[in-house]
Structure 1
Amino acid sequence: MQVMFYELSRDPAHLVVPLLARRILEQSGRMLIVSADEQQRARISAALWQARPDSFLANGQMGEGHEDRQPILLADIPDPVNGARFLVIADGVWCEGEEPFERTFYLFDDETKAQARQVWRDLRGREGVKKEYWAQEDGRWTKKAEE
C-alpha cells in the first residue's frame, strides 16, 4: 500500500482532486473520494465535471444508484463499491477501508495538519506501507519526504 500525503497550502481539495483523478483514469483505474463534508463532495463533483473545457471526469455520489459503474465515486465512507483501488481522502480525516487500497492520496490543510503528522507516525513501521509527503512550492508539487 502506498500513502501519498498532500499538504494543501495554496489550492483547495476540489482543485487538486481532478488532477489526481485524470492520472488514475488514464491508467484505467477507478477512484473513491471520501469526505464527511457533503458540500465539499459537491464542490469536488462539480470540479470533476468541469475539469477541462474539452473534457470531463464522469463521477457519481454514493446513494444515487449505479455506484458500481462509476469510474469516480464520492462517498462519506471508504467502501469501494465501484471497484476502486485508489482512495482520495479529501477532508483531511484519515480513514481506511476493510481491504487496503493500492494507493491512498491523503489531502490535508492547516486545520488537519496535526492529524496528518500523527497518521505519518502511526504508519511508520507498518508492513507493506510506503509513504510520500508532497507540498506545493511555487505552484508545483514537490516531494519533501519518503519512507
Structure 2
Amino acid sequence: MQVDFYHLTATPLDRALPRIAERIVAGGGRLLVVSGAEDQRRHLDRHLWAYTPESFLPHAETGGPDDADQPILIAATSDAANGARHIALVDGVWRDDALAFDRAFHFFDDDRIQDARLAWKALAGRDGIERRYWKQGDGGRWEQAA
C-alpha cells in the first residue's frame, strides 16, 4: 500500500488532482475522490468536466444510478461504490479507511500541514505501507522529498 502526501503550495488542487486522475484512468484504474465538504465536491464535479478545453474525465458524484460504472467517483466517505483501488483525500483530512486501497493520495495545504504531519508520523513503521512526500520545487514541478 502506498500513501502519497501532496503538499499544495504553488499548484492548487484544481490542477494537481486532474493530472493524477488522468494517469489512473489512462492506466485502466478507478479513483475515489473524498471530501467532507459538499461545496468542494460540487466544485470538483464541475471542474473535472472542463479543467482544460480538450479534457474529458468521466466521473460523477456518488448517489447516482451508475456509481459502479464511474471511473472517477466523488464522495463524502471512503465507500468505493465504483470499485476504486485508488483514493484521493482532497479536503486535507487523513482517513485511516484509505489504507484499504492500493494507493492513497493525501492532498493538503498550509492550513492542514500539522494534521498531515501527524498522519505521516502515525503511518511510520506500519507494515506494508510505503509513504512518499511530494513538494513543489522552484519551477512548480513536484519533487519527492521523502
- TM-score for the superposition, normalised by structure 1: 0.93
Structure 1 partner of 2:84: 84
Distance 1:12 1:55, change over 3 A: closer
Structure 2 partner of 1:57: 57
What CA distance in whole angstroms lies between the structure 2 residues aligned with 1:24 and 1:144?
Answer: 22
1:47 Cα offset (Å): 2.1
Counterpart of 1:6 in structure 2: which amino acid? Y
Residue 128 of structure 2 is aligned to residue 139 of structure 1: no
What CA distance in whole angstroms lies between the structure 2 residues aligned with 1:15 and 1:54?
Answer: 14
Stretch moving more, 12-21 or 82-91: 12-21
Report the count of equivalent residues.
145
Contact 2:87–2:98, Cα closer than 8 Å, also in 1: no
1:98 Cα offset (Å): 7.8
1:54 Cα offset (Å): 2.1
What CA distance in whole angstroms lies between the structure 1 residues aligned with 2:18 and 2:136?
Answer: 16
Instruction: Quote the RMSD (CA, aligned, Å).
Output: 1.3
Structure 2 partner of 1:20: 20
Determine which structure has the larger helix proportion and give its number: 2
1:100 Cα offset (Å): 1.1
Distance 1:64 1:79, change over 3 A: same
- TM-score for the superposition, normalised by structure 2: 0.94
What CA distance in whole angstroms lies between the structure 2 residues aligned with 1:28 and 1:47?
Answer: 21
1:139 Cα offset (Å): 1.3
Task: Give the fraction of aligned pairs with identical amino acids, expressed as a percent.
Answer: 41
Q: Which runs of 5+ in 2 are unaligned?
A: none
In the TM superposition, what whole-angstrom CA distance separates every residue of 1:79-136 from its partner, at most 9, and x where no partner exists?
1110100000000101133871110000001111001000000000111000000011
State the SS of the aligned residue for 1:29. coil
1:55 Cα offset (Å): 3.0
